[in-house]
Amino acid sequence: MKKIIIERPGGYRRLQLKECSLPAPNDNEVLVEVSTAGVNFADVFIRLGLYKSGKEFVGWPITPGFEFSGKLLDCGRDVDGLAPGTAVFGVTRFGAYASHLCVPARQVYAIPAGSKFTPDQWAAFPAVFLTAYHGLFHNLVLRPGMNILVHSAAGGVGGALLQLGRIAGCRMVAVVGAGHKVTTAVEYGADAVIDKSRENLWARAEAVCPQGFDVVFDGNGPATLKQSYRYLAPMGKLVTYGFHSMLSKRGGFPNYLKLAVQYCRVPRFNPLNMTNDNKSLIAFNLSYLFDRADLLQESMQQLNGWVEEGRIKAPPLQPFAFENVAAAHHALESGTTVGKLILKMNAD
């Protein structure tokens, strides 16, 4: 089998393609022949050595990747409901950048016959939609008509938030960083789109929602966190799940000076002030939730149902050959992509 191994943190050349022995599943695991793996911002932070849970759960060396689709090859003796030969997709806490993968059976799902998604689309689905679902439905009490602002709305998590928020009956306001991303945000269901490359983000946000937002989803970090909090309505919630703006967009290497400067710019939220402001901060990292099988199963059951009902659209995909993983990371770091990037194990 082949997999991408990162021996130690650094630039793109740390993404080494290596031959390894084929693993055997444990009693509660299945062995999957991976055809497609999703690429996420967390994978970039893993490569740079900045992803705490990667160091905590795996250490070095590490194989990135949280989501995949492929064919089930073998099952452990305690596995029920799945059989070899089944087309599947799933999530894993690291390791999906590989031609073969052993993963707990509870994190693998059969692709329904006649599914509205292709296998590639299923591979790009779970990480971003689980993040969006957890942020919206496990951390908030949603009411129809709530005003929700979503940063980076043409990306994977942002697009998922727009779609799920619309399902919940909320008014979704999208923020994008370039004109070519506006159409994508509209297709995801945005009621209004703010293109911050052409207009003042916060002046436009105030015009769109003068009373302030009930919820702001911010995966940017210090570039927008302070203002995101400021533009909350009374009883508003700021939900943060990433710090993309801390990344350097040049060369694929960690810029430690920029990281230090950006770290100092991260706002410090004082509980006393927040009480007086009548506003809240919610923060989470999905990689720490794999032990909550109850939340995972509830989320995937609901999301899969919405897919088959046609209420969720697959994001646009940008495929890369498995061997071109460095190019995929470079593209994601550029900030110019829309939808989801995927790695194809056997690209044509």
Per-residue model confidence as pLDDT tens digits over 274-323: 999 999 999 999 998 888 989 999 999 999 999 999 999 999 999 999 99
Q: What is the pLDDT of residues 99-155, one digit of tens each?
A: 999 999 999 999 999 999 999 999 999 999 999 999 999 999 999 999 999 999 999
Judge whether 26 lies within some domain.
yes
Q: What is the CATH number of the domain that holds 198?
A: 3.40.50.720
Verify that 245 and 148 share a domain, yes or no.
yes
Of 250, 283, 316, the domain-final residue: 283
Q: What's the structural domain count of the chain?
A: 2
Q: What is the pLDDT of residues 2-37, one digit of tens each?
A: 999 999 999 999 999 999 999 999 999 999 999 999
Verify that 159 and 266 share a domain, yes or no.
yes
Judge whether 179 lies within some domain.
yes
> What domain range includes position 117?
2-126+306-344
Least confident piece of the model among 65-74, 219-228, 253-262: 253-262
Contact yes or no for 216/149 (Cβ under 8 A): yes
Which residues, 6 or more positions from 233, have their beta carbon under 8 angstroms from its beta carbon? 147, 209, 211, 212, 213, 214
Q: What is the Cα–Cα distance from 303 to 293, expressed in whole angstroms? A: 15
Q: Looking at residue 264, what DSSP letter applies? A: H
Average of per-residue pLDDT values in the chain: 94
Q: What is the CATH number of the domain that holds 78?
A: 3.90.180.10
